[in-house]
A = this chain, B = another copy of it.
C-alpha cells in the first residue's frame, strides 16, 4: 500500500491533485523520516540535495551571520514544502523545533518528477507565491516595528497559524484562545530580531497589562485580542 494513502496532509500538501498512479510514482522516490527537536534536515549553504514535505511538527528555517547571530527566516508547519528544487544552494538551514515527520525526496528525483507533472509544479508555485507574500509581510515587522509591536504581531500570527482549521474541524469562537508555543524564548527572539531579554520583558508587560496570561513557559492565553491587535501596529 502506498504511504500516501494514509498521509494526513494528503489533501493539503503539493501532492494534492495527483491521481493514484502518480502518487505511487512519487511515493516510490520518497521516504518518510522522523526528526527530533534540534535535529537538522540540512544546513545553510549546503548544496541542495533534498526537498521534503512536512507531515507533522514544526521546523525553522534559519540564517546565521559568521559571528553567530541567528535570524529565523521562516517557520514551516504540516503540509508545507521544504527545500530548493532546480539547483542552487539552500540559503538557510532547516531544523526541527518539535518532533517532526517529513516526507523526503532526493532533489534530482523530485526535479525530474516535477518536470513531468505540471499539476505538481502548479501546486508548488502557488505555495511558493504564498510563502513569498508571507515573508515580505514579515519584513515590515523586522524593519519597522518596535519590540512591543513585534511581540503583539507575533502572537496574533502564531495563534492564527496554530489554530488553522486542518480540514473538517469545526472552530468555535468562544472565550480566550490558548496556544502552546513550539518556540523557546530564544527562538522567539530569533524570529523577531530581538534579544531574549527584550522578549521576556515584553511578555511580562503584556501579562501585567492583562492582555495575555502565561500559564506555563510554553503556553500563552490571549485574554484581550483587541488589545493585542491595537499593539500590533
Contact = CB atoms under 8 A, between A and B. Distances in A.
B145 A65 contact: yes
Contact of A118 (B73, B121, B142): B121
A71 B128 contact: no
A40 B128 CA distance: 25
A51 to B, nearest CB: 11
A121 B125 contact: yes
Contact of A143 (B84, B133, B136, B192): B192
Interface in A70-124: 70-71, 73-74, 84-86, 88, 91-92, 115, 118, 121-122, 124
A162 interface: no
A130 interface: yes
Nearest to A124: B125
Interface residues of A, number: 43
B84 A139 contact: no
A139 B139 contact: yes
A138 interface: yes
A193 B125 contact: no
A4 to B, nearest CB: 22
10 contacts: A63-B140, A64-B140, A65-B145, A71-B139, A88-B129, A88-B130, A118-B121, A121-B121, A132-B135, A139-B142
